C-alpha cells in the first residue's frame, strides 16, 4: 500500500488561505488504511479547519467527501459537478490522486498529505517501507526481503562494513533497524538457500526504476478501440 502522513494543520491552513469554498476529498483505499486520508480523517480535518477559520474571522464553507480510489477517473467523475462549483479542492489522497484530479479539473487541487512510500503494516499503527518499485524484482534471490528498499544504502551485495555486531544497521539511530542483509542471510538460512549469497549481483540496470524517467505500463490486450 501507499503510506502517507497528513501535513501539519498550519501548512494546510496556509494553503487554504485564499479560498472560502472548498471540497475536502478523501480516498478510501491506501490512505484510509494508514489513517491519513479516509472518510474519518476528512471529517476530523474539516472540523479543525472550520474552527480555525472561524477564530480567524474568515469562515470557510467545506463540502466533505471520499471516493473509492482517487487515482481513477471512474470514481472521481460522480464528483465532477461538485468539484467545478468549488474555489479549490483539498485532496486527502496520495500524490497520485492529486495528480489525477489536477489533470481532469480546472480547479486548484491542494495536497493535504505527504506521500511517503510503499509499505506493509508492521503492527497496529506502524507501517514500514519494504519495496521501492524498482521495476525488476529480485526477491526470489534474496529470500523475499528487498535490499533496495530495506538497506539504507540500497546495497545489492551486502552487508556493508558498518553492520553492528548485534545485527542492526549503522545508519539507523540507536540500533532501531535491523540490517537488511542480516535479515536476508537469516531468511536464506531458513529456506536452505544460502548458496544464493555466492552469486554476486552485477551493476543493476536502473532504467526500469523511476530514475530512468516517468514510467508507464501498457497492456495492449486491455485497451479499448478508439
Give the whole-angstrom CA distance, residue 107 versus residue 85: 9
User: Smallest distance, Å, CB 220 to ligand SF4?
Assistant: 23
Nearer of residues 38 and 147 to ligand SF4, judged by Cβ: 147
Binding-residue total with ligand SF4 (CB under 6 A): 25
As given in the structure block, the three cell numbers for residue 55 are 477564530
As given in the structure block, the three cell numbers for residue 104 are 481532469
Asked whether 75 and 97 are in contact (CB, 8 A), the reply is no
Give the whole-angstrom CA distance, residue 196 versus residue 198: 5
Phi, psi of 94 (to 5 degrees): -70, 180
Give the whole-angstrom CA distance, residue 5 versus residue 68: 19
Site residues (CB under 6 A) for ligand SF4, limited to 66-105:
none
Site residues (CB under 6 A) for ligand SF4, limited to 123-182:
131-134, 137-139, 146, 148-149, 151-153, 155, 158-160, 162-163, 169-171, 179-181
Nearer of residues 7 and 150 to ligand SF4, judged by Cβ: 150
Give the whole-angstrom CA distance, residue 165 versus residue 129: 24
Nearer of residues 203 and 224 to ligand SF4, judged by Cβ: 203
Nearer of residues 64 and 170 to ligand SF4, judged by Cβ: 170
Nearer of residues 114 and 154 to ligand SF4, judged by Cβ: 154
User: Smallest distance, Å, CB 39 to ligand SF4?
Assistant: 30
Nearer of residues 35 and 139 to ligand SF4, judged by Cβ: 139
Burial track 161-172 (b if 16+ CB lie within 10 A, e otherwise): eebeeeebbeee
Residues in contact with 105: Cβ distance below 8 Å, sequence separation at least 6, in sequence order? 80, 83, 84, 89
Site residues (CB under 6 A) for ligand SF4, limited to 194-223:
none
User: Smallest distance, Å, CB 166 to ligand SF4?
Assistant: 11
Phi, psi of 97 (to 5 degrees): -65, -40
User: Smallest distance, Å, CB 213 to ligand SF4?
Assistant: 17
User: Smallest distance, Å, CB 22 to ligand SF4?
Assistant: 36
For residue 128, which of 145, 143, 106, 113 has the smallest C-alpha distance? 145
User: Smallest distance, Å, CB 134 to ligand SF4?
Assistant: 3
Binding site for ligand SF4 (CB under 6 A): 131-134, 137-139, 146, 148-149, 151-153, 155, 158-160, 162-163, 169-171, 179-181
Amino acid at each position: 500500500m501507499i503510506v502517507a502522513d497528513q501535513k501539519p494543520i498550519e501548512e494546510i491552513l496556509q494553503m487554504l488561505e485564499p479560498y472560502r469554498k472548498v471540497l475536502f476529498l478523501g480516498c478510501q483505499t491506501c490512505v484510509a488504511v494508514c489513517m491519513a486520508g479516509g472518510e474519518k480523517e476528512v471529517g476530523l480535518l474539516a472540523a479543525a479547519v472550520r474552527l480555525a477559520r472561524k477564530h480567524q474571522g474568515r469562515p470557510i464553507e467545506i463540502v466533505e467527501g471520499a471516493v473509492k480510489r482517487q487515482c481513477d477517473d471512474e470514481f472521481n467523475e460522480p464528483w465532477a459537478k461538485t468539484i467545478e462549483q468549488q474555489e479549490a479542492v483539498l485532496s486527502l489522497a496520495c500524490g497520485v490522486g492529486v495528480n489525477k484530479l489536477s489533470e481532469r479539473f480546472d480547479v486548484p487541487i491542494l495536497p493535504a498529505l505527504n506521500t511517503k512510500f510503499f509499505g506493509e503494516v508492521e503492527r497496529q499503527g506502524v507501517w514500514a517501507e519494504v519495496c521501492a518499485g524498482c521495476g525488476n524484482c529480485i526477491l526470489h534471490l534474496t529470500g523475499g526481503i528487498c535490499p533496495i528498499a530495506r538497506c539504507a544504502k540500497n546495497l545489492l551485495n551486502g552487508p556493508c562494513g558498518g553492520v553492528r555486531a548485534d545485527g542492526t544497521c549503522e545508519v539507523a539511530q540507536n540500533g532501531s533497524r535491523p540490517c537488511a542483509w542480516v535479515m536476508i542471510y537469516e531468511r536464506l538460512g531458513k529456506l536452505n538457500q544460502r548458496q544464493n549469497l555466492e552469486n554476486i549481483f552485477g551493476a543493476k540496470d536502473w532504467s526500469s526504476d523511476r530514475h530512468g524517467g516517468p514510467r508507464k505500463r501498457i497492456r495492449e490486450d486491455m485497451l479499448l478501440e478508439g
